[in-house]
Structure 1
Amino acid sequence: MLNSVIVVDDEASIRAAVEQWLSLSGFKVQLFERAEECLAQLPAHFPGVILSDVRMPGMSGLQLLDRLQQADPDLPVILLTGHGDVPMAVEAMRNGAYDFLEKPFTPQHLMGSLRRALEKRQLVLENRRLHEQADLKAQLENTLLGMSQGLQQLRRQVLELASLPVNVLIRGETGSGKERVARCLHDFGPRADKPFVALNCAAIPETLFEAELFGHESGAFTGAQGKRIGKLEYANGGTVFLDEIESMPLAQQAKLLRVIQEQKLERLGANQSIAVDLRIIAATKPDLLEEARAGRFREDLAYRLNVAELRLAPLRERREDIPLLFEHFARTAAERLGRHAPAVSGGRLAQLLAHEWPGNVRELANAAERHALGLDSPNLESLPGGRSLSEQVEAFEAQCLRAALRQYNGEIKGVMEALQLPRRTLNEKMQRHGLVREDFLGGE
């Protein structure tokens, strides 16, 4: 239950009395003598109620109400009035005030009005939160594409972790989308308006690593002309994405660990520490703890980075996403080139589903772009050690079911007729492939 109340009144005795009553009843109280002060310090989406006198020097309570209504029409405002102000207060309620209390009022009357207003505020904020979550979910579905159970679970994990102030380790093969997931963790969290700095640890020469991360002062080493801000300092307030973290030199691992622990860094050639507020998202192909046991990575840093872990499944483990991703990449490439993407034939789709995709989504995107250009390779086949015929048939069946469900917006009767399947058989196949009709309601 919310319990925050802001009291705005120019009379010190009224403020003191109301604060005492409310504090004893468990309310969190903030006092202001003038309406202008309240407006200047009022946070967005204030989780409480405003209690304001009507007649005050400078901005009146009615003017404050008008300003608050413009900023947040659902914010409850209770007005405190003298006897002669009652008709004015009634008119103010028609204009959006939640309630008014005529002076002198009893603590019981005040508490009753406040609790009702706080209950209303709680419902409004909860409704907003649910709408925001739905909007974020829709945006994320358009960013991390796929209908497989693994992708749906990944999106849920990203939404949960995005708002949490914890470091995240992303594990996945080359081309599986680690940087895109890292970007989503940043963009869908509270640091979205701050810098997102991506570094590939394998691409930085060891001799330049420290200067690249921590920056340097003028003359710190031969060739260091002028002061340079390092990537970690530049990302202050935001997110640092360290790809292929397993390639980071051991000496720099120790310094990164210190930055994570102390939230401070020192430029090369400087003695002064600089405070930084960073979220670290690291990505790796191998298991960092196995790397630590082999002496190639610091175990303490591995634990610091792996507060939460996300595993990205390779494309061969979520083949049902291949047609959707291929279509998306082909359409995007065709639009960029100002042309229409050719249709995907059944034979071509079978090839796509049978291929092992060692380069994962990156390789698929390249194949889709070639398709948009009309440059399809006729020899796209499953690599040695590929799937059995039954596995390929299963993947193709799942795609056919998904396409029909999407076409008929989850309407079972239409799917049954299109695929010529009895309801019981359709239900069994949907259950086996993890398909739920609710996921397709209102779809394209």
Structure 2
Amino acid sequence: MSPAASHILIVDDDPDLLKLLAMRLQAAGYKVASASSGEAALAQVAVAKPSLVITDLRMGSMDGLALFDALRKNDPALPVIILTAHGSIPDAVEATRRGVFGFLTKPFDHKELLRQVEAATHLAAGAAMENTKQGKSEEWRKSIVTRSPVINALLDQAHMVAESDASIFIRGESGTGKELLAQAIHHASPRRNKPFVAINCGAIPEALLESELFGHTRGAFTGATRDHKGLFQAAEGGTLFLDEIGDMPLPLQVKLLRSLQERKVRPIGATQSVDIDVRIISATHRDIAAEMKNGNFREDLYYRLNVVSFEIPSLADRREDIPLLANYFLAQLCAKYNKEINGFAPEAMELLVGAPWPGNVRQLQNTVEQTAVLCTTPIIPVTLVQKALRDDVGSILPFEEARRHFERDYLARLLKVTSGNVTQAARLAKRNRTEFYKLLQRHQLNASLFKETAE
């Protein structure tokens, strides 16, 4: 591999050494990126895989060997050279035993460094060519950022299944990345050059969902001014992802089952069916076994969809991914908002790792975005993370509780505006006095207190 084709990531918490290494490697013709911590390095590797990583041994929360272990889980073939000012025979022996490519002490010999870099990049080039021959490119899973052994094992299974046309059923809580897994399977499959079409079955009203899936003809119903191809036809030759399939109404489940069995769809208002060739991947956060027991989901459809199943663990069950994901999102947001933020304070990261994350990866991404937008320092402090987590908890109240809060606040504002005059307040709310009094009793609001406040 020529230097120009090699991408080297250097990792050190000493900014002067980073600059020196970058200058020497760039002078030799290499492309260089830098990171000031192990966590930041993992975030960069998740975005763009380097040909070689050069890292300091002694760093803050993640030292060079810990970084090597994390990199090795995702890519055992990625060469790593470790630099240290604390070089010793035991360190070198331990690093070599674990499979580190090279080990140099600081101050390092410039020629020896370039010799090891050249040898490592040649090794990386050979491994890349071998992976390409064997079809082991990681491009298909690039959108999934992880160093979790559980997720990596799941992805290995998904890659094997992707070669077939078997229907796949994905279970997982909201925000765990079910659609990302479905996209990765599509990109690893022979259908990768055909469309990937996704639909959330719980987000579309029942009256429209049938038309969205199967299509309709002109004049099939009021407002159908032209023929409309449904998503089955839009995904022809590719993959159709049915998200939140557990929310699909029973009448549509019957039609979906028939379409899967016959491999045909009949648009609303049509007299002829249309042949389809799609791979179905479906997902849900619901307990489908309970839904089938309660008669809300058809067993025959479930067994048709569930040829192969995957379960994505919650973020709380793979906390080793939280620093990696947080730094990955932060790097994206810094580019989006043109901000320079180097990472999270140790206490802030500790708080992120220990949070419950009921909204999983989606909630983590929202939390990181809020902290990045509000941050005015090079490091995100723990106070911003605390505030973002409090706001997240407040924003995901259960529906009934949120409605009670709204009703109470609304009634209180009416009584305040009318100085406790129930007749006027009921008129403003367009409710009769009897119903309005019941609402006040339900929320334990005393109109006379608002009169006293006004006086």
TM-score, normalised to structure 2, is 0.54
Correspondence for 2:237? 237
Deviations 1:363-414 (A, max 9, x none): 1111222233244333467999xxxxxxxxxxxxxxxxxxxxxxxxxxxxxx
Whichever residue aligns with residue 209 of structure 2, its letter is F
| Partner of residue 351, structure 1 | 351
Deviations 1:279-310 (A, max 9, x none): 11111012323211110001000001110111
What is the match of residue 153 of structure 1? 153
- 1:334 aligns to 2:342 (yes or no): no
Q: Distance in 2 between matches of 1:265 and 1:322?
A: 43
**Aligned with residue 378 of structure 1, among 363, 366, 386:** 386
The reply on whether 1:131 has 2:132 as its aligned counterpart is yes
CA distance in 2, matches of 1:213, 1:380: 38
Structure 1 CA distance, aligned partners of 2:266 and 2:188?
Answer: 30
Question: Is 2:276 the partner of 1:281?
Answer: no
In the other structure, the counterpart of 2:166 is: 166
CA contact (8 A) 1:167 1:280 kept: yes
Matched letter for residue 361 of structure 1: V
1:181-196 equivalences in 2 (<5 Å) = 181-196=181-196
Within 1, Cα distance between the matches of 2:370 and 2:388? 12
Identity of aligned residues (%): 41
CA distance in 2, matches of 1:372, 1:139: 28
- Structure 2 Cα separation of the partners of residues 310 and 173 of structure 1: 12
Aligned residue number for residue 319 of structure 1: 319
AA aligned to 1:350 is E
What pairs with 1:5-404 in structure 2 (closer than 5 Å)? 130-133=131-134, 135-136=136-137, 138-140=138-140, 142-375=142-375, 376-379=384-387
**Judging changes above 3 Å, is the alpha-carbon distance between structure 1 residues 355 and 141 closer, same or farther for their aligned structure 2 residues?**
same
- For residues 143 and 335 of structure 2, the distance between their equivalents in structure 1, rounded to whole angstroms, comes to 18
CA-atom RMSD in angstroms: 2.2
Q: State the alpha-carbon separation in 1 of the partners of residues 228 and 323 from structure 2.
A: 46
Structure 2 CA distance for partners of 1:381 and 1:223, relative to 1, 3 Å:
closer
Classify 1:134/1:190 alpha carbon distance in 2 versus 1 (closer, same or farther; 3 Å). Answer: closer
Q: Distance in 1 between matches of 2:278 and 2:136?
A: 26
Structure 1 partner of 2:58: none
Q: Deviations over 1:208-227 (max 9, x none)?
A: 12111111111112221121
Higher mean C-alpha displacement, 214-223 vs 247-256: 214-223
Deviation at 1:207, TM superposition (A): 1.2
In structure 2, runs of 5+ residues without a counterpart are 1-127, 376-383, 394-455
Deviation at 1:230, TM superposition (A): 0.8
Q: Distance in 2 between matches of 1:133 and 1:171?
A: 30
Q: Tell me the SS of whatever aligns to 2:202.
A: helix
1:344 is matched by which residue type in structure 2?
F
**CA–CA distance in 2 between the matches of 1:337 and 1:167?**
40
When structure 1 is superposed on structure 2, of 368-377 and 243-252 the one drifting more is 368-377
Cα deviation for residue 153 of structure 1 reads: 1.0
- Alpha-carbon distance in 2 for matches of 1:265, 1:378: 51
Q: SS state of the match for residue 282, structure 2?
A: strand
Would you say the 8 A contact 1:354–1:381 is kept in 2? Answer: no
Tell me, what secondary structure is at the counterpart of 1:282?
strand
Aligned residues of 2:197 and 2:240 also touching (Cα < 8 A): yes
**What per-residue deviation string (whole Å, max 9, x for no partner) do you get for residues 74-121 of structure 1?**
xxxxxxxxxxxxxxxxxxxxxxxxxxxxxxxxxxxxxxxxxxxxxxxx
- Asked if 2 retains the 8 angstrom alpha-carbon contact of 1:144 and 1:155, the reply is no
Residues of 2 paired with 1:195 and 1:328: CA distance?
27
* Cα offsets for 1:138-188 (capped at 9, x unmatched): 325532111111111121122112211111011000100011111111112
C-alpha separation between the residues in 2 aligned to 1:142 and 1:381? 28
Shift of 1:134: 6.0
Aligned partners of 2:130, 2:264: CA distance in 1, in Å? 34
CA distance in 1, matches of 2:255, 2:133: 39
Structure 1 counterpart SS, 2:169: strand
Instruction: Decide whether aligned partners of structure 1 residues 221 and 142 sit closer, same or farther in structure 2, where only a CA change above 3 A counts.
Output: closer
Find the residue that maps to 2:350 and give its secondary structure.
Answer: helix
Q: 2: distance between equivalents of 1:311 and 1:146?
A: 16
The answer to whether the Cα contact below 8 Å between 1:177 and 1:361 also exists between their aligned partners in 2 is yes
Code of the aligned partner of 1:259: S
Give the match for residue 438 of structure 1. none
**In structure 2, distance between residues paired with 1:328 and 1:309:** 28
Cα distance, 1:342 vs. partner? 3.5
Q: Secondary structure at the match of 1:272?
A: coil
Structure 1 residue 133 displacement after superposition: 4.8
In structure 2, how many angstroms separate the alpha carbons of the residues matched to 1:133 and 1:356?
40
CA 132–374 in structure 1, closer or farther in 2 if over 3 Å, else same: farther
CA distance 1:133–1:351, change in 2 (3 Å): farther
Q: Rate the CA distance shift 1:140–1:197 in 2: closer, same or farther, 3 A.
A: closer
Q: Distance in 1 between matches of 2:239 and 2:142?
A: 22
Residues 329, 209 of structure 1: alpha-carbon distance in 2 compared, 3 angstrom cutoff: same
The 8 Å contact of residues 352 and 385 in structure 2, kept in 1 or not, is answered as no
Query: Matched residue of 2:344: which SS?
Result: coil
SS in 2 for 1:198: strand
| 1:140/1:340 CA distance change after superposition, 3 Å | farther
In structure 2, how many angstroms separate the alpha carbons of the residues matched to 1:371 and 1:141? 28
Q: Distance in 2 between matches of 1:141 and 1:217?
A: 38
| 1:332 Cα deviation after fit | 0.8
SS of the residue corresponding to residue 203 of structure 1 reads: coil
